[in-house]
Amino acid sequence: MKPFAYARPKTVSEAVALARGGATVMAGGTDLLGLMKDGIAAPERIADIGGIEPLQGWSRTKGKGLRIGALVPLVELETSVELARSIPIIHASLAPAATLQLRTMGTVGGNLLQRNRCWYFRDEAYPCWLKGGVRCFAIEGDSRMHAIVGAEECVAVAPSDLAPALIAYDAVVALTGPRGQRTMPLADLFVAPHGRVRREHVIAPDELLVEVRVPENAMSRRGAFEKAMERKTWSFATVSVAVSAKVIGGVVKDARIVLGGVAPVPWRARDAEKLLEGRALDDAACQAAADAALERAEPLKDNGYKVPLARELVRRTLQRLA
Ligand SMILES: Cc1cc2nc3c(=O)[nH]c(=O)nc-3n(C[C@H](O)[C@H](O)[C@H](O)COP(=O)(O)OP(=O)(O)OC[C@H]3O[C@@H](n4cnc5c(N)ncnc54)[C@H](O)[C@@H]3O)c2cc1C
Ligand code: SF4
């Protein structure tokens, strides 16, 4: 690891000033430090935001929805009895993520902003397109874990399990930087790398992710999450599926179907969502939606298996919702 200067700001504005001066923000460090040890990231300065009070904690206020500070450790959300009752999809998405140690150190902001897990990206010997090179090694190389939909120059997949779950609940993120504050749907934080955009998130290097909010009107949704993985623990999703809907009189309204592990961003299966609108969530509807969700899939040479896997996982997750 290359030497770096270390600062521990106490306030958001101190952290933003450090980031504006070129420091890289670090929360739990479980992803960033790995990238540094592997020679993929080499920041000269680190701003360790772990001590900033306003970024800690979460709260559920009736009428105002759920607010989750960026620094909340994943385990705190996973183990909350209150959250398990009011929005169980959060526990469902976090329990199979990483390991208990990583969920204890890892934070909500860091989870959403973690870099992708493409093995060529993580290996400093491969100067791939996303790292400023000219080619994507995965397209012709080993593409078992890569995208089947929505990719352009880079076929790496969005790795976060929490992101699809929160997007299925219409979550919004608040960012702050030298130009002030902005909010956006969590889904818009993610971008499929393309053209000059050689990154996975739209957050600027001098911005902080401050908090995630789930609006009150989304809290009444029913939700379900399923994850397929190579091992039962310490494994990223080969495919994950988060679904939510309002089910009124047995009929689906405003369905959300969001897939992880299949695209460079958490992937909204909008055609499948439309198909469910106004229908009863019976076996035929679950199957039809699952088929529609994967209709546009274009697997690479090694990851054709993800198409039936994702289709079946969508079907099962919808059945769990029912
Ligand atoms: C072996 C292993 C297995 C894993 N398995 C899974 C899995 O199955 N599912 C899953 O979802 N995740 C998995 N992870 C990822 C893990 O959840 C993340 O590493 C963790 O959540 C990152 O949080 P952190 O606070 O440590 O982030 P950090 O490493 O501190 O930061 C990650 C990135 O986010 C930026 N950042 C962090 N916080 C902020 C902020 N508030 N504002 C602006 N930028 C910020 C940092 O600059 C950095 O680029 C795994 C990780 C490992 C190492
Ligand atoms: S998929 Fe993306 S990260 Fe992986 S080698 Fe290709 S360009 Fe690089």
pLDDT tens per residue, range 111-125: 999 999 999 999 999
Q: Pocket around ligand 1: residues whose beta carbon is below 6 Å from it? A: 24-32, 34, 49, 70, 74, 97-98, 102, 105-107, 109-111, 113-114, 159-162, 208-209, 234-236
CB-count exposure of residue 275 (10 Å: 0-12, 13-18, 19+):
buried
Residues 6+ apart with CB under 8 A from 262: 147, 148, 149, 150, 157, 239, 297, 306, 310
Domains along the sequence of the chain with CATH: 53-114+157-215 (3.30.465.10), 222-321 (3.30.390.50)
Give the binding-site residues of ligand 2, using a 6 Å CB cut-off: 116, 118, 120-121, 128-130, 136-138, 146, 154-156
In the three-class reduction of DSSP (H, G, I as helix; E, B as strand; rest coil), residue 224 is classed as: strand
pLDDT at 109: 98
Q: With 90 as the cut, is the pLDDT of residue 199 above it?
A: yes
pLDDT tens-digit readout, 263-300: 999 999 999 999 999 999 999 999 999 999 999 999 99
- Please tell me the residue having the least CA distance from ligand 1 atom 17: 111
Q: What pTM value is reported for the model?
A: 0.98
Query: Of 148, 168, 172, whose CA–CA distance to 158 is shortest?
Result: 148
Residue 233: pLDDT over 90: no
Q: Taking all residues of the chain, what is their mean pLDDT, rounded to a whole number?
A: 97
Nearest to 190 by CA among 245, 115, 257: 115
Is 250's pLDDT higher than 90? Answer: no
The bound ligand whose nearest atom lies closest to the alpha carbon of 212 is: 1
Task: With cut-offs at 50, 70 and 90, classify the pLDDT of residue 234.
Answer: confident
**What pLDDT, on the 0 to 100 scale, is given for residue 232?**
82
pLDDT at 1 over 90: no
Task: Identify whether the C-beta of residue 26 lies closer than 8 Å to the C-beta of residue 32.
Answer: yes
CA distance 260 to 253: 22
